[in-house]
Structure 1
Amino acid sequence: MIQGYHSPEPRKARRSTRYRIRRRTPPGAAPGTIIPEPTSQPPRITLTHVLPESLEEQEIQQPAMIRSWLSRPGWIWCDIDGPGDSQFISEVAQVFNLHPLALEDVVNTHQRAKVEEYNGTLFITMRLPHIAENGIIESEQISIFLGPNFLVSFQPRPGDAFTCIRKRFHNPESPLRQLGPSYLAYSLIDLIIDHYFPVLDFLGEKLESLEEKVTSADARKVLREIHDLRRELLYLRRILWPHRDAVQSLLRDYLTLLPKIVRVHLRDCWDHVVLLLDLTETYRELCADLRDYCLSAISNRMNEVMKWLTLIATIFIPLSFIAGVYGMNFDPDASPWNMPELRWYYGYPFSLLLMLAVATLMIWVFYRRGWIGQDWPISDSVLHRSPATRGENQASRRAMPSPG
């Protein structure tokens, strides 16, 4: 069922729209309603007819032309770039007998990685990550239909993400030409999963640079960058986690369409997904540690400032008391007890020297108590000792007899 329903304009903040699901079908629409993204490119079909001894590749203008290729010996790979025409997609579905519910998921490109079966055809969705120009991680949905003698793939964004797969087809000894569409499905899944490694390498380099900034720059400036990196890792984990269940489902089920040799290769994809998830969790924990370190550094800096302000205020308390005492307006002529110091020749220098002596005494007391002028809690000499020296001291402490 085709309807002309337009979604509202996308928001400019790309970070926010990654987490929002915009479904273009209105509430109550019939299941299987196909409403492509209005900004999608017009469809372009690249058809590859594969035989063990030959290979033909060409662009198809009309979906009805595919039927003649399906009747030939061998199998075909139909790659559709830009599903922006609902009528075109419906014609492709009629040729391959694709289920409308699966087509609805093809045009609504917010799907998580999953595997479903419709009428003997496997429907697989994966998310292909890439790094945008502004350093933000984005992903596009790759949809795959696997049948006995065909494979149909949908790429919503312009540009061919499967160029390296096409190059491998030109090798007559390649398993892609010998093992059929199931091995091509594995190759596409493996390509998609391998794209996560450079993304994680990029995030790992950013994490290393942040570790250096934390110790050399203002922690308040680094805290925002740590939050942004943690947000990217959270998004990467969100799109990567369903791949584990999808690959596990391919290994466990669908034995008819996936022969044993393909499932052996899919185990390698499973290992890669587990490794990627472990790296993502490790980076997220490191980001959390860096964030806690920055917050602790900011708190310690604030405590240090408050300590110095308190010390300064404490020093001036007795000085203010002395100034207040000698600032009282008592007439010394009325009584000999009324501040006789006011008539001293050196009365003013005496009061200044008294204040200086009190301030010096308080600073000396603060120093003796270790509140100022000392490294606390660990001195730089202890921090910068060589590991060998620290090891010798630890060994000597272990050699000392315990009390009692």
Structure 2
Amino acid sequence: MKARLVQDGIFTLVEDITQTVVPPHHGFYWIDAEPEDLEMLQPLFHLHELAVEDVLTEEEQRPKIELYDTHYFIVFNSIRFDDEEIFLRALNIFLGRHYIITITRQKINEIRALKPVLWEEEVKAPDEFLYHLIDLIIDNYTLVGDRIDAKIEKLEEEILMHTKKAHLNEIIGLRSEILWLKKVLNPQREVIATLGRKELKLISEPLKKYFGDIYENAVKISETFDTFRELMGNLREAYQSSLANRANEIMRVFTAITTIFMPLTFITGIYGMNVTYIPGADTHWGGLSIIFGMVFLGIAMFWLFRKKDWL
């Protein structure tokens, strides 16, 4: 657990956590903690027991905002796209008048990227901190959306060029992840809407317009993921169509080969009959003539099939 005094974007480490209970003359306190630290933080800041229980007992939480008298409890999901897999990581936030507490079970990149933003923007209030943090999280969803879009295009190209059975597993897996993210985006979007529209005493009035801008971005991202879901359906149809075309192509080749060999089999059948006289059977070059004739007939039929675009 680390406690910092943030004054105009400048960080100062606080050694004694009990100092953070008293509001500073200027700035606010940012406490970056883990779930186990709530045992100490709850009595200090009088955090609601239901919110603390949610943090301690639920690893995967639905995005939400709960309003209490002295603080708000906000759950947001950060997103990561590593090694072609999508991960969601819960970010628990306690927002007070002079403090903000962030609690995570894993490292979240947005928190690391937030520090230079706070310094550049000279942040001096916890609600401003919350705005920039959520803004970074939503921007990261946009980046992940771009990577998913690129993956869909690459997968579509591979399917059209050379269909493999492994492509179906990729389609099903990616579609499941998109549907999963879609379920997360809807409640997350409502949390942002609440921060931007509802009368909240811990959110300054000028800042609500900025939350409204984040909400519009969240709506666009949600619509983008709706498009991805439709594209995955089209991709599956393209996969099935490609397999059908490939099977038809193979059957066409086999049919052409069978058709070419039919007259050759007919000729060998005639000359294999046990009769007294067959034309050319008694001559010295009869056997070679028949073989060359069969080869010529096979080549002629193959040329005819290519000319008719049957092969």
Question: TM-score w.r.t. structure 1 length?
Answer: 0.64
Kept after mapping to 2: 8 A contact 1:127/1:141: yes
Kept after mapping to 2: 8 A contact 1:210/1:222: no
Partner of 1:57: 12
- 1:165–1:324 CA distance, 2 compared to 1 (3 A): closer
Q: How does 1:368-387 map to 2 (within 5 A)?
A: 370=308, 372=310
Gaps of 5+ in 1: 1-43, 333-339, 374-404
Partner of 1:66: 20
- Flag the structure with larger Rg: 1
Partner of 1:402: none
CA displacement 1:291-322 (0-9 Å, x = unmatched): 43333223212211111101211232343234
Task: Quote the Cα distance in structure 2 between the aligned partners of 1:93 and 1:273.
Answer: 32
Kept after mapping to 2: 8 A contact 1:75/1:150: no
- 1:196–1:315 CA distance, 2 compared to 1 (3 A): same
- The SS at the match of 1:143 is strand
CA displacement 1:367-396 (0-9 Å, x = unmatched): 67x3525xxxxxxxxxxxxxxxxxxxxxxx
**Does residue 328 of the first structure (1) align with residue 280 of the second (2)?**
no
- The SS at the match of 1:203 is helix
Q: Structure 2: which amino acid aligns with 1:112?
A: R
CA displacement 1:308-342 (0-9 Å, x = unmatched): 10121123234323433442334x3xxxxxxx317
Partner of 1:100: 49
Kept after mapping to 2: 8 A contact 1:81/1:156: no
Q: Structure 2: which amino acid aligns with 1:197?
A: T
1:94 CA drift (Å): 1.2
How many positions carry a matched residue from both structures?
307
Partner of 1:90: 39
**Does residue 152 of the first structure (1) align with residue 101 of the second (2)?**
yes
Question: TM-score w.r.t. structure 2 length?
Answer: 0.80
Kept after mapping to 2: 8 A contact 1:214/1:222: no
**Does residue 129 of the first structure (1) align with residue 79 of the second (2)?**
yes
- 1:101–1:364 CA distance, 2 compared to 1 (3 A): same
Partner of 2:251: 306
Relative to total residues, which structure has the larger helix share, 1 or 2? 2
Q: How does 1:5-404 map to 2 (within 5 A)?
A: 44-48=1-5, 50=7, 57-60=12-15, 63-67=17-21, 69-70=22-23, 72-73=24-25, 76-83=28-35, 85=36, 88-107=37-56, 108-132=58-82, 134-158=83-107, 161-170=110-119, 174=122, 176-177=123-124, 180-216=125-161, 218-220=162-164, 223=167, 225-330=170-275, 332=276, 340-341=277-278, 344-346=281-283, 348=287, 352=291, 355=294, 359=298, 366=305, 370=308, 372=310
Task: Quote the Cα distance in structure 1 between the aligned partners of 2:68 and 2:160.
Answer: 56
- 1:159–1:279 CA distance, 2 compared to 1 (3 A): closer
1:146 CA drift (Å): 1.9
Task: Quote the Cα distance in structure 1 between the aligned partners of 2:288 and 2:76.
Answer: 85
1:264 CA drift (Å): 0.9
Kept after mapping to 2: 8 A contact 1:74/1:149: no
Kept after mapping to 1: 8 A contact 2:118/2:129: no
CA displacement 1:110-133 (0-9 Å, x = unmatched): 01211112345221111111233x
Partner of 1:398: none
- The SS at the match of 2:210 is helix
Task: Quote the Cα distance in structure 1 between the aligned partners of 2:29 and 2:40.
Answer: 16
